[in-house]
Amino acid sequence: MGKEVNRKKADRISDLPDSILTHILSFLSTNEAVRTSILPTRWRYLFALLPNLHFDLEDVLRRKNFNIHRGVKHLDLNIYLDKFITLPDVLFTCRTLVSLKVDKDFVLDVPRGVVHLPNLNTLHLESVKFLNDDSIKNLLSGCSNLEDMVLKQCYMENISKFNISHQLLKRLTIDYLYSIENLQSLVKADIYLFKTNYTRQGGATTLFRGICNVPSLILWVTSLELLLSCKPLPVFATFFKLKIPCYDLCREYSYIRGGKGLETLLSSLPALEKLEFSQEVLCFLPENVPSCLLYKLKAIKITNFTDEKHCIGKAKYFLKNGGALQKLTILTAPDVSVEKQLKISNVLLASPRESKQLCILIV
């Protein structure tokens, strides 16, 4: 009896609260943390409370009793195996899973009739090859409450059959020309495409028709050329917010091709109220002023702005024609000095403007 009392007194660590014990376990590898389950009962399931668990996929796939039905809500799988992999069925039937991220090169074969992820809200797939078109269909059909989906460099052998369809999806990010349909709930799309050899004929038209009812769009400047292949270009009647990012690697591309694409798009956005873009895509603006600029546009943000004549001239264009414009924000390039900012400010403040309620902010 005396020895048992001494052991209890010696095991003071086990009396600590879960938050402290899991913090201690977080400094161990996942395998080491799991091994603590052989300690007294107090430790048996503590490892399952860790915020991050890192498994060796080869070992996981060899386990016949692999189980994630432990209330898991967020699962991030990073896979680096260049071979065919069939993930355990249990991955597709976890009722508590809220977000799932799977990336790195592997082939995904989604079993028919097995997927049941009723609480999955966010799905992020990167560098994933689907075995066939049934795999993507089976996956999406089993995610009844999916709202946010990111597909980056995901593909299959016959890319023309890669179809994205989901009635409740609200946010979509893609970098391939997939077929898109049945996206009535979509409120935001992020499209990053190059016109490359995987761009099939008519694919751009199908894509833009599939998102023509989305209110908010992020369209990378490298995607603008694809608009030129749309015949005819759909009218995006409900677009009210458009953002056109441009990073260093695509600035030269935007100088050569981006302007005409922007011109084509603006003429098809009658309801546009907010516009943000890098000044590089100001190379060509439509001679016929788009109706959105005349009557709807309320806020415009221009980034990477300089004091060059052509750049200031384009800002004047918006001031002159923006009948509903309430705010023009100019974000200058990193190499623009305070003196040059002041010059830009003086020129624009002295320029004619259509809107009498316009605020100009230069930073």
Identify the pLDDT of residue 151.
93
Greatest Cα-to-Cα distance within the chain, rounded to the nearest angstrom: 95
Greater confidence (59 vs 335) lies with 335
Greater confidence (94 vs 201) lies with 94
In which band, very low, low, confident or very high, does the pLDDT at 58 lie, cut at 50, 70 and 90? low
pLDDT digit string (tens) for 279-293?
887 777 778 999 999
pLDDT digit string (tens) for 227-264?
777 888 888 999 999 998 876 545 555 444 544 667 77
339-350 average pLDDT score:
95
Identify the pLDDT of residue 256.
46
Q: Name the average pLDDT for the chain.
A: 82
Domains of the chain from N-terminus onward: 14-50 (1.20.1280), 240-362 (no CATH)
Residues 57, 86: contact at Cβ < 8 Å? Answer: no
62 pLDDT above the threshold of 60: no
pTM for this predicted structure: 0.80
Residues 270, 237: contact at Cβ < 8 Å? Answer: yes
156 pLDDT above the threshold of 90: no
Buried b (16+ CB within 10 A) or exposed e, 110-143: beeeebebeebbbbbbbebbbeebebbbbbbebb
Residue 84 neighbours by CB distance under 10 Å: 11
Identify the pLDDT of residue 258.
44
Place of tokens 């016949």: 64
186 pLDDT above the threshold of 50: yes
Greater confidence (6 vs 154) lies with 154
